[in-house]
Amino acid sequence: MTAGPAEHPHVSLLLGAYVLDALTDREAGEVSRHLLRCDACAAAYTEVLQAPGFLALLTEQDLLE
């Protein structure tokens, strides 16, 4: 994996907290915007969503939102 520009840091380390809605609104917004323009992080986000460990922590209502 290559490092992104300093002003556009990758958000892979925040994805777990993002999925669990544990970030601040500002952090969640940054992650959301980053996912729209970064294929690598978008793919990582999809993997996190599909990880059994994370799914077990999510309620069905969370998944519908």
Residue ranges binding Zn ion (CB under 5 A):
10, 38, 40-41
Q: Which is nearer to Zn ion, 33 or 51 (CB)?
A: 33
The terminus-to-terminus CA distance of the chain in angstroms comes to 30
Kindly tell me which of 19 and 41 has the beta carbon lying closer to Zn ion.
Answer: 41
Residue 65 neighbours by CB under 8 Å, 6+ apart: none
Beta carbons of 45 and 15 less than 8 angstroms apart: yes
Of the two residues 3 and 63, which places its CB atom closer to Zn ion in the complex?
A: 3
* Residue 7 beta carbon to Zn ion: minimum distance, rounded to whole angstroms: 12
